Amino acid sequence: MNNLQKNRFIDQVFKILGILFTMLGIFILGVLIYNILKVGVTRINWDFLTSLPSRRPEKAGIYTAIIGTLDLMLLTIIFAIPVGVGAGIYLEEYAKKSKFSSLLEINISNLAGVPSIIYGLLGLGIFVRFFGLGGSILSGSLTLSLLILPIIIVATREAIKAVPHSLKEASYGLGASKWQTIKNVVLPSSFGGILTGIILSLSRAIGETAPLIVVGAMAYVPFVPHSVFDTFSVLPMQIFSWTTRPQQGFAIAASAAIIILLIITFVMNGIAVYFRNKWQKKLK
Amino acid sequence: MKKLVFIISLAILAVSCGEKKAEKTSELTGSIAIDGSGTVYPVSEAVAEEFLKTEPKVKVTVGESGTGGGFKKFATGVTDISDASREIKGKEIELCKENAIEYIKLTVALDGITVVINKDNTWAKSMTTEELKKLWEPNSTIKKWNEIRAEWPNEEIHLYGPNTSHGTYDFFTEVIMGESGASRTDYNAVSDYNVAVQGIEKDVNALGYFGLSYYEENKDKLGVVGIDNGSGVVLPSIETVANNQYAPLSRSLFIFVNTKSAQRPEVEKFVKFYLENAPQLSKEVGYVPMPQSGYDEQKAAFEAILIKK
């Protein structure tokens, strides 16, 4: 075997390995989804979506949990996106290279890897106790906002970094100010990347249970929150509660709730992908 | 004449009584926060669900952040009622004192910790409490079945049990080892008992312990170990737990009620409703009700603190 053949052989091996690993990931996801669908899909009906939780698994529903999850996501979006995108823009466009800014950068990257339960404890200390917001939906969404901020900031920075320098220079050349350049050139052409980061972060937030338990999400909440200061439940909390019960009926209900959670996640991602594609077409 | 006065006064009394009753059934409002043990959660959830039907305007929420987590909230006055699958500990009592929280402990149901084995395990049909202690004590060297009893197979034993955050863990170690939290650590510590059920179901050499309801729901898939505390082998069942024959692994499930909260009419009514309906509802969710006399005692104890204040 000469050198060329050897290299080609390694090339092929690497390619096949790559395909195998990709298939493995998809295969496991497929098995997971198949199992859940098999158990839970027949349990989903209108009553399941509109009923309150119950001790009788065949009667239990996820109405308050769905509303809780949607409310929580909405508030999280309101808090996290402006702050996250704003911080990303500042760090990439305004901040001067200094020891302080590189310290900031390292910390933000590290924060993205902190376990979510730690954010729960932080939320408990700051929002629940110090600001006295209690185990409210407001505390929950602020905690989740903290959790996903690093992801949004990092994604925003990467997206902005990818904007061609020539575009910015052209804008400056025409006499545009920094803010005009950001508003008219940088943000529009990095919008797709920023949106991808936001999608990823929200998909993470919607499945979180641990920090919300710490903050005070309840498993049994028989009413819909009327204000941001009300107690709340969320779908992952309900799923967690049901999977630990001894009765088989609750396992079925949990699978059904997981399907609903997946659908909500897919719809949310779908909307974001739709906007991203539409935006990119407009740019061209 | 006297008769007439008597009749009129009786009528007035009846009317006034009727009015009072009407007032009581008129709708209560307010909210009641409950948190604590995941074991007691199903009972509290069931009671809250039924209470909602009679008092639809009272907002009852139930969490399950664990007995310890629940007491942390209870001791700082965040919750009105704390579900617990064990007694309150010294540190928790101190925290309550610091925050001037007074409480009453009420027993709402019974549970039996069940030692379970695989369906195809033909040997370990009973164990003594000493054998359990030898098997589970800290630094236990037992790795194989025949190290417990010589006639048992020369096979590795695979252990399943709750992790340290469970009240079940505290209780089991307390009564078997004599010290809460004293346990060997090289076992499969689960946070969800259904994981233990699945593990034991598939492994003929497995042994584990958890609440009776998880065994009752999976009777067709699991085997059970009878417990011999020196006075004969007893199998856990609703009867043997209720009459305390299944000793020492029978335990009580509690709710701790904040005395100050109990002054609020909605909390008072809820707790009374709880004790009234616990026999039926605890059975429905898989636990063992106390004898009725037990519930009468709990009711009397609760009435007593209402009068005292």
Residues of chain B in contact with residue A222, where contact means CB-CB under 8 angstroms, are: 48-49, 52, 59-61
Judge if A158 and A244 occupy the same domain. yes
Closest CA to A192 of A167, A222, A155: A155
> What is the model's pLDDT at position B309?
56
What CA–CA distance (Å, rounded) separates A219 from B37? Answer: 12
Q: Which of A117, A121, A218, A230 to mutate to test the interface with B (most CBs of B within 10 A)?
A: A218
Q: Which residues span the domain enclosing A259?
A: 46-283
Judge if A62 and A145 occupy the same domain. yes
CA A38 to chain CA centroid, nearest Å = 26
> What is the model's pLDDT at position B18?
43
Taking an 8 Å cut-off on Cβ atoms, the answer to whether A220 and B281 are in contact is: no
> What is the model's pLDDT at position B23?
43
> What is the model's pLDDT at position B127?
95
Show me where the domains of chain B are located.
29-110+252-308, 114-250
Q: Is there a common fold for B29-110+252-308 and B114-250?
A: yes
> What is the model's pLDDT at position A277?
83
- Looking at the complex, does the CB of residue A21 fall below 8 Å from at least one CB of chain B? no
pTM of the model: 0.82
Judge if A196 and A69 occupy the same domain. yes
> What is the model's pLDDT at position B174?
92
Q: What is the CATH number of the domain that holds A72?
A: 1.10.3720.10
What CA–CA distance (Å, rounded) separates B103 from B81? Answer: 9
For range A98-112, the mean pLDDT: 87
* Neighbouring-strand partners of residue B176: none
Q: What is the DSSP letter of B84?
A: E
Long-range CB pairs of A257-261 (<8 Å, 24+ gap) are A257/A40, A257/A62, A257/A65, A258/A36, A258/A40, A259/A36, A259/A37, A259/A40, A259/A41, A259/A44, A260/A44, A260/A49, A260/A62, A260/A66, A260/A235, A261/A69, A261/A206, A261/A207, A261/A235, A261/A236
Per the CATH hierarchy, to which homologous superfamily does domain B29-110+252-308 belong? Periplasmic binding protein-like II (3.40.190.10)
- Domain formed by B114-250, architecture: 3-Layer(aba) Sandwich (3.40)
> B143 — phi, psi (to 5°)?
-115, -20
Closest approach of B258 to chain A, Cα-based (Å): 18
Taking an 8 Å cut-off on Cβ atoms, the answer to whether B218 and A216 are in contact is: no
Judge if A83 and A145 occupy the same domain. yes
Judge if A159 and A140 occupy the same domain. yes
Q: How many domains in chain A?
A: 2
Contact A195, A282 (CB under 8 A): no
- Looking at the complex, does the CB of residue A134 fall below 8 Å from at least one CB of chain B? yes
Closest CA to B267 of B277, B281, B257: B257
Q: What is the DSSP letter of A61?
A: -
For range A109-138, the mean pLDDT: 90
Judge if A100 and A14 occupy the same domain. no
> What is the model's pLDDT at position B14?
46
- Looking at the complex, does the CB of residue A248 fall below 8 Å from at least one CB of chain B? yes
> What is the model's pLDDT at position B247?
86
Q: Which of A245, A248, A252 to mutate to test the interface with B (most CBs of B within 10 A)?
A: A245
Closest CA to B266 of B25, B32, B20: B32
Burial class, A240, CB count within 10 angstroms (exposed 0-12 / middle 13-18 / buried 19+)? buried
> Cα separations (Å) of A59 from A49, A167, B217?
11, 60, 18
Judge if A64 and A24 occupy the same domain. no
Q: What is the DSSP letter of B31?
A: E
Closest approach of B146 to chain A, Cα-based (Å): 32
Q: Which pLDDT band holds residue A239 (cuts at 50, 70, 90)? A: very high
Judge if A15 and A110 occupy the same domain. no
Helix (H) or strand (E) run with residue B32 in it: strand B31-36
Judge if A214 and A226 occupy the same domain. yes
> What is the model's pLDDT at position B3?
53
Show pLDDT as tens, one digit a residue, over chain B (309 residues). 455 555 555 444 444 444 444 444 557 889 999 999 988 999 999 999 999 999 999 999 999 888 888 998 899 888 999 999 988 989 999 999 999 999 999 999 999 999 999 999 999 999 999 999 999 999 999 999 999 999 999 999 999 999 888 888 999 999 999 998 899 999 999 988 999 999 999 999 999 999 999 999 999 999 999 999 988 999 999 999 998 899 899 999 999 999 999 999 999 999 999 999 999 999 999 899 999 999 999 999 999 988 865
**DSSP line for A123-160:** HIIIIIIIS---S-HHHHHHHHHHHHHHHHHHHHHHHH
Closest CA to B284 of A51, A245, A55: A55
> What is the model's pLDDT at position B26?
55
Indicate the residue of A217, A219, A246 with minimum beta-carbon distance to B214: A246
Q: Is the pLDDT of residue A129 over 60?
A: yes
Q: Which pLDDT band holds residue A113 (cuts at 50, 70, 90)? A: confident
